Amino acid sequence: MPKLYEYFGIIVMFYSNEHEPVHVHGKYQNTESKAEIIFIDGKFEEVRIMEVDGKKPLDSTNLKKFKNLVENY
């Protein structure tokens, strides 16, 4: 799983063989959430934060940082 970025301790990565929609995972200590990057007609529309099955989600503070990072970069 390639690491893309580390931001305030949140490791942002992706799995190379994953499914649509395009998304990245954010891990912090023993927690993990994913951010789906939604495009409609080739234009960025929104970032949807989702839980990862079997993983405890990021806490609210880290979730905000993760979403902000994905929305802006």
pLDDT of residue 60: 96
Q: Give how many domains the chain has, as a whole number.
A: 1
Query: What is d(CA 15, CA 2) in angstroms, rounded to the nearest whole number?
Result: 7
- Dihedral angle at the C-alpha atoms of 22, 66, 31, 12, nearest 10 degrees? 60
pLDDT digits (tens, 9 = 90+) for 24-41: 999 999 999 999 999 999
Domain limits at 31?
Answer: 3-72
pTM of the model as a whole: 0.85
**Over the chain (73 residues), what is each successive 10-residue block's mean pLDDT?**
87 82 93 94 94 96 95 88
